[in-house]
Amino acid sequence: MRRNSASPVHLRPVRALALLVTLAGVMLSTGAFITPASTQPLLVKPKPSATALAPATLSPRDGAFVEGTQTVASTPTTADDSVVSLWADEGRLEATPTVGTSRISFDVGTNSIEARYGNHLLVNGEHRIDLPDLVDERTTLEVPNDALVQGENTVQVVTGTIQSSCGTNHDDFVVSNV
């Protein structure tokens, strides 16, 4: 085997050892060395609060460009929490507290819900939530909490109709896993 004159193989371990010794000397002389963890005092870090980890959500989303008059809503992301104040452009906004919203989720079958029929949910016989076009998917709709009552609530799925050449056409669809 031919030896390379610029870097002889038999001198490589010696050079590596010399480099390590030099680095150790530099680190010790400058104080740039790592102390073992056992010699460092234990510090108890405070646990961040849930609100520090999960700030309130905004609608429209933070950073959205809006024009004209825009309603802004904020909801807490942590259970049993509340939104204390809203700020925009370094100024506090006057806000009206609400009782918030709840959600209802369900699956729609492959035969779809069509908005043109006027299909809707009726909450406790009074609050109407129009259903959008939905096909073979799981959907979640918001229900204002002021439409709900303490105890048992009823949610009716109401199918709509349209007039066609055959007469009145009732929309038919499957809703499951409410």
pLDDT in tens, 139-168: 999 999 999 999 999 999 999 999 999 999
Q: Residue 87: helix, strand or coil by DSSP? A: strand
Q: How confident is the model at residue 85 (pLDDT cuts 50, 70, 90)?
A: confident
Tell me which residue has tokens 């030896």.
Answer: 3
The model carries a pTM of 0.51
Beta strands in 35-153 (DSSP E): 57-59, 73-75, 86-88, 91-93, 101-108, 120-123, 127-130, 137-144
